[in-house]
Amino acid sequence: MQRKLIFGYSKEGKMGTTLPKCDVPQKTITDLIPQNLLREIPNNLPQVSEPEVVRHYTNLSTLNHHVDKDFYPLGSCTMKYNPKINEAIAGNSQFTEIHPAQLSDTTQGSLKILYEVEKYLCAITGMNAFTLHPAAGAHGELTGVMIIHKYHKSKGNKKKYILIPDSAHGTNPASVMLGGFKPIKIKSTEEGLVDIEDLKSKLNDEVAGFMLTNPNTLGIFEENVLEISKLIHSVDGLMYMDGANMNALLGIVKTINMGFDITHLNLHKTFSTPHGGGGPGGGPIGVIERLKKFLPVPIVVKENDDYKLEYNLPDSIGKIHSYFGNFNVILKTYVYLRMLGENGLKNVSKNAIINANYLRECLKDKFQIASPRIPMHECVFSGDKQKEKGAKTLDIAKRLLDYGMHAPTIYFPLIVSEALMIEPTETESKETLDRFIEIMLKIDKEIEDNIDDVKNAPQSTPNSRLDEATASRNLDVNYFLKNS
């Protein structure tokens, strides 16, 4: 179906709004703006009615899949439904019209929110202090690596390497490189856990730290985490936790009790800011007591009943974000945490774990599980069985779109052949999960009975399957508009 641009509805004289009668003295625009700054040719704006504007953008909003539309089981991304009260409060003019450069005595409410969110995150993780400045998970990783670098420099340590499991998120080695270290890959066992013997063989006095996601990208809790921490600390290394999967641990275990020195969290995953679409996000960093002095400036401090910004931190790594981070995202986190409280957060993780294991049990007979260990908040399958019958994991993912559901993460983690990584989150009902299971089993049956429906999917979406090989070689958007 060919869709019009908004200009396609435009006709001379159409209006979407009526302005009130002017009640002040009128002036020509040239009385207010110099002639040389005015357009010689009128701005080409569409002239459309209000219903046309509403329908045009409403129709556009349905073309992409989003969590308000249906199930979005993107593994490791925690695409949970986000309470709309968060958006309502974040849109309050008392927040949207404040300016971060105002004097602190005029922003006490906002500073209090920043201060309290830091304290809440400390309570959840056990860390001694947090910075809310990082704008995303990878930005948090870089901030953490910068703190690791500053720590070792302050002690005169000659460190070169940071160890990373082969199942890690791709941002981990990138952050390590940007932070001035070199990554060393640690192998996983057949069960998907860190290979302790491989770790020991690569551990030496030049190791600055270890970046570990726990539970890992197979959704499995690293049961040897205390042994790993002990080994890293034995060479004065620091343990860094990639908190992308924190949705599995809320109220169940604190990161500090696993031996971590630095932790990043994803506010746009775990703490209910819509995830995707380019942001904004939040990747706060928590640290233990001896690393507090390295945190970015400024920090929010409380003196009596007043809140102020403290810049006098001589050992700080400096500024890593303008002002104080993405305040709108932090505000939504504040609302979410206050709504749920301690017991509510624990139930978030318990329900996420139950949902993931329910999917695993219902699909394991048809789809090969990646690890025999019981996962936490997400489960990973291999599509090898289906590939033997002629359909790749990519085909399965595309076919899911025809049934109105988003595909799970595919081909990650890299250590799993034909990986299907499914994270249902806690916000999905059993009825939704049952519908997803039914569709997955139906696709498996289609591979046996009518594989062309799967190989040619999607067929019901606005665009059919794109030629991905050509897309990587030809970045001409017009080509795809003409041929999709």
What's the Cα-to-Cα distance from 238 to each of 163, 171, 208, 210, 261, rounded to whole Å? 10, 18, 6, 7, 6
Q: Are strands 285-287 and 262-265 parallel, antiparallel or unpaired?
A: antiparallel
Q: What residues are paired with 243 via a beta bridge? A: 265
In this structure, the dihedral spanned by the alpha carbons of residues 254, 257, 262 and 267, taken in order and rounded to 10 degrees, is -10
Structure tokens at 112: 């209090």
What tens-digit pLDDT sequence spans the chain (484 residues)? Answer: 567 889 999 999 898 888 888 899 999 888 899 999 999 888 889 999 999 999 999 888 888 888 888 999 999 999 999 889 988 999 999 999 999 889 999 999 999 999 999 999 999 999 999 999 999 999 999 999 999 999 999 999 999 999 999 999 989 999 999 999 999 999 999 999 999 999 999 999 999 999 999 999 999 999 999 999 999 999 999 999 999 999 999 999 999 999 999 999 999 999 988 776 666 899 999 999 999 999 999 999 999 999 999 999 999 999 999 888 899 999 999 999 999 999 999 999 999 999 999 999 999 999 999 999 999 999 999 999 999 999 999 999 999 999 999 999 999 999 999 999 999 999 999 999 999 999 999 999 999 999 999 999 999 888 888 777 777 787 776 665 565 5
- According to the model, what pLDDT value does residue 396 have? 98
E strands, 251-365, in order? 262-265, 285-287, 299-303, 306-310
Q: Round to whole Å and give the CA distance between 360 and 368.
A: 10
Q: Say if residues 250 and 220 touch (Cβ distance below 8 Å).
A: no
- The sign one gets for the Cα dihedral 409, 415, 418, 423 is negative
Q: Round to whole Å and give the CA distance between 482 and 477.
A: 9
E strands, 87-237, in order? 129-131, 161-165, 182-186, 207-213
Q: Round to whole Å and give the CA distance between 443 and 458.
A: 12
In this structure, the dihedral spanned by the alpha carbons of residues 198, 199, 201 and 203, taken in order and rounded to 10 degrees, is 170
Give the angle subtended at the CA of 287 by the CAs of 281 and 293, to the nearest 5°: 110
Structure tokens at 453: 């429906």
Q: Has domain 349-477 been given CATH number 3.40.47.10?
A: no
- According to the model, what pLDDT value does residue 44 have? 87
pTM score over 0.75: yes
Structure tokens at 276: 């995707």
Among 333, 345, 261, smallest CA distance to 82 is for 333
Q: Say if residues 366 and 400 touch (Cβ distance below 8 Å).
A: no
Q: Are strands 129-131 and 285-287 parallel, antiparallel or unpaired?
A: antiparallel
Q: Has domain 87-340 been given CATH number 3.30.365.10?
A: no
Structure tokens at 273: 């800011």
N-terminal to C-terminal alpha carbon distance within the chain: 10
Among 251, 261, 143, smallest CA distance to 212 is for 261
Give DSSP secondary structure letters for 133-165: ---SHHHHHHHHHHHHHHHHHHHT----EEEEE
Place of tokens 């809320």: 250
Q: Are strands 285-287 and 299-303 parallel, antiparallel or unpaired?
A: unpaired
- According to the model, what pLDDT value does residue 2 have? 66
Structure tokens at 395: 């085909």
Q: Round to whole Å and give the CA distance between 372 and 483.
A: 44
Question: Which sequence spans correspond to the domains of the chain?
Answer: 6-57, 87-340, 349-477
Among 147, 132, 138, 152, smallest CA distance to 237 is for 152
